Amino acid sequence: GAVVSQHPSRVICKSGTSVKIECRSLDFQATTMFWYRQFPKQSLMLMATSNEGSKATYEQGVEKDKFLINHASLTLSTLTVTSAHPEDSSFYICSARDFSGGPTEQYFGPGTRLTVT
């Protein structure tokens, strides 16, 4: 299957700072990328959908000014958590798919664990 990478794999930051997480599709062009967050022992919650070259679509309840998403190229999407607070500590996972691919061709990254102190 195709490979999606995330960087960093884990990050610790201080309250009030901003953190950028990168999601890359390594061997295919991802016209659509998704960002999820996952709390311990809980499900993946979709935060936003981003299509290359256009603004991200955020799910209800997700603050778009706090979670900035940029999908500037067909292989890279970034999630920036601005003015992070301890309640933003979570596991953030991206997934990517090629628009021409079928529903099974959505590949998940390994996740980024964010801890805000």
Please report, as ranges, the residues that interact with another protein according to CB under 8 A: 1, 4, 6, 32, 34, 41-46, 49, 91, 93, 95, 97, 102-104, 106, 108-111, 113
Residue whose C-alpha is closest to residue 61's, from 32, 37, 82: 37
Q: Strand pairing of 4-7 and 10-13?
A: unpaired
Our CB check for another protein shows the closer of 3 and 17 to be: 3
Min separation Cβ 23 and another protein, Å = 10
What is the rounded CA–CA span in Å between residue 14 and residue 88? 11
Q: Residue 58 and residue 48: Cα distance in Å, rounded?
A: 4
User: Please, what is the minimum distance in Å from the beta carbon of residue 45 to another protein?
Assistant: 8
Please state the closest distance from residue 61 (CB atom) to another protein, in A: 14
User: By C-beta, is 46 or 68 nearer to another protein?
Assistant: 46
Shortest Å, Cβ 101 to another protein: 9
CA atoms within 13 A on the CB side of 62: 19
